[in-house]
């Protein structure tokens, strides 16, 4: 795990996550989060209208949905801060309503905006929460110091929380959620307000927490960011689960649109034509200069045609094309064949992330 963090982290990266407080893990922590038939209304607004979800231990699960779809309401119920009207909820095996203390003792909650007591220092904020979780003083002091290092707030440890910027408050909120080494972590828009470096740190930290066997449920509107860290996803729309059971690995077999960039547009599009691969001009370029008509680009391959495209052609320029592939295997084959045929490929990547694609497909269905 350490190597993963170091590999991806220039300049030494975030300090290691502090060792968990050695309280024995509940035997049911591996149950993660299980929700069935959850409903919650605010007056006439049905914020949750039938949510079913499973977030597994050892995995990062993305909670995805448009504004007002019920993500925060769901997280508040899971955190034991809101009583549902109907349905069953288990967090690390405990019901947050009937067994609130046990559930909260295993749950770390990071709201989208973390309010602090401005007169307390960052260290005092964390120590106060450590005391609330009844962590012995000596152990708590060490834990708090480690967490301040983890979220890069050592410099601000003894300054009033009021001087912290929004992003720094978010990081303090994350440290607060981790004080008692929870089995289940609930994060509502954790990256909002974070600078790019802190976002990378957050992603690495969440990955590591999941690798330690914790359940991580994270909501965000930034799908590209969720994509980087999520193993599974749950989609909410109008208070209902609309896609459950979405997993990163199950998506490997799904069709996808790829963007291919080449030093030579002509070499690329000539090869695509000869290989019988349907393609479209890349919107980022406009229609490539001198490219064949995309409508005519689905001609069957000509076995007699030479497989080596010419070098740069007069008037040719770097550019790209967009192609549809059947699955990851198909993408790998296409790239291999293009390179083998001598196309000077400079980039080959999905046009959209899988989460973003799934989200847009969902939106498309609703129209």
Ligand X SMILES: Nc1ncnc2c1ncn2[C@@H]1O[C@H](COP(=O)(O)OP(=O)(O)OP(=O)(O)O)[C@@H](O)[C@H]1O
Under DSSP, the state recorded for 46 is E
Binding to ligand X (CB under 6 A) within 319-338 occurs at: none
When the beta carbons of 38 and 103 are compared against ligand X, the nearer one is 38
From the list 148, 144, 147, 116, the residue with the least C-alpha distance to 130 is 144
When the beta carbons of 36 and 41 are compared against ligand X, the nearer one is 41
Contact 356, 225 (CB under 8 A): no
* Residue listed under structure tokens 């969902």: 362
Nearest-angstrom CA–CA distance, 248 and 267? 34
Residue 31 backbone dihedrals phi, psi, to 5 degrees? -75, -15
Closest separation between CB of residue 45 and ligand X, Å? Answer: 5
Helix (H) or strand (E) holding 52: strand 45-55
Closest separation between CB of residue 225 and ligand X, Å? Answer: 15
Closest separation between CB of residue 69 and ligand X, Å? Answer: 4
Binding to ligand X (CB under 6 A) within 26-65 occurs at: 42, 45, 47, 65
Contact 176, 130 (CB under 8 A): no
Closest separation between CB of residue 93 and ligand X, Å? Answer: 25
Please report whether residue 83 would count as binding ligand X according to CB under 6 A. no
When the beta carbons of 194 and 321 are compared against ligand X, the nearer one is 194
Helix (H) or strand (E) holding 4: helix 2-7
| Tokens of residue 347, six digits | 């980039």
When the beta carbons of 67 and 98 are compared against ligand X, the nearer one is 67
Closest separation between CB of residue 68 and ligand X, Å? Answer: 4
Q: For residue 344, count other CB atoms closer than 10 A to its CB.
A: 16
Closest separation between CB of residue 137 and ligand X, Å? Answer: 37
When the beta carbons of 14 and 111 are compared against ligand X, the nearer one is 111
DSSP string, 219-246: E-S-HHHHHHH-SEEEEEETTEEEEEEE
DSSP string, 71-135: HHHHHHHHTTSS--SEEEEEETTB-TTTTHHHHHHTEEEE-SS----TTSBHHHHHHHHHHHTT-
- For ligand X, how many residues bind (rule: CB under 6 A)? 11
When the beta carbons of 19 and 81 are compared against ligand X, the nearer one is 81
Binding to ligand X (CB under 6 A) within 113-132 occurs at: none
Judging by DSSP bridges, how do beta strands 184-188 and 215-219 pair with one another? parallel
Binding to ligand X (CB under 6 A) within 60-79 occurs at: 65, 67-73
From the list 254, 260, 290, the residue with the least C-alpha distance to 278 is 260
When the beta carbons of 236 and 334 are compared against ligand X, the nearer one is 236
Closest separation between CB of residue 54 and ligand X, Å? Answer: 19
- Residues contributing to the site for ligand X (CB under 6 A): 42, 45, 47, 65, 67-73
């Amino acid at each position: 795990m350490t190597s993963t963090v170091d590999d991806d982290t220039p300049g030494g990266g975030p300090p290691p996550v502090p060792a968990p407080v050695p309280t024995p893990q509940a035997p049911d922590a591996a149950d993660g989060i299980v929700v069935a038939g959850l409903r919650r209304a605010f007056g006439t607004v049905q914020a949750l209208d039938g949510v079913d979800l499973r977030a597994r231990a050892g995995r990062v699960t993305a909670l995805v949905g448009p504004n007002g779809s019920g993500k925060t309401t769901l997280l508040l119920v899971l955190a034991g801060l809101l009583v549902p009207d109907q349905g069953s909820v288990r967090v690390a095996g405990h019901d947050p309503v009937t067994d609130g203390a046990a559930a909260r003792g295993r749950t770390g909650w990071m709201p989208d905006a973390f309010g602090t007591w401005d007169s307390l220092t960052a260290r005092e904020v964390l120590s106060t929460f450590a005391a609330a979780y009844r962590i012995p003083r000596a152990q708590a002091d060490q834990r708090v110091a480690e967490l301040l290092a983890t979220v890069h707030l050592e410099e601000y440890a003894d300054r009033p929380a009021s001087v912290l910027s929004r992003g720094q408050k978010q990081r303090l909120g994350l440290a607060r959620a981790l004080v008692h080494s929870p089995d289940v972590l609930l994060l509502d828009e954790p990256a909002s307000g974070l600078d790019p470096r802190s976002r990378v740190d957050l992603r690495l930290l969440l990955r590591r927490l999941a690798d330690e066997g914790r359940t991580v449920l994270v909501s965000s509107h930034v799908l590209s960011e969720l994509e980087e860290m999520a193993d599974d996803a749950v989609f909410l729309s109008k208070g209902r689960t609309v896609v459950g059971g979405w997993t990163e690995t199950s998506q490997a077999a799904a069709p996808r649109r790829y963007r291919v960039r080449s030093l030579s547009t002509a070499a690329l599009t000539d090869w695509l034509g000869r290989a019988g691969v349907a393609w479209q001009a890349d919107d980022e370029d406009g229609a490539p200069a001198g490219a064949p008509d995309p409508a005519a680009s689905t001609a069957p391959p000509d076995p007699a045609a030479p497989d080596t495209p010419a070098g740069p052609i007069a008037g040719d320029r770097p550019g790209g094309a967009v192609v549809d592939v059947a699955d990851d295997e198909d993408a790998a084959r296409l790239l291999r064949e293009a390179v083998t045929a001598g196309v000077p490929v400079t980039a080959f990547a999905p046009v959209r992330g899988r989460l973003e694609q799934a989200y847009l497909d969902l939106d498309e269905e609703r129209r």
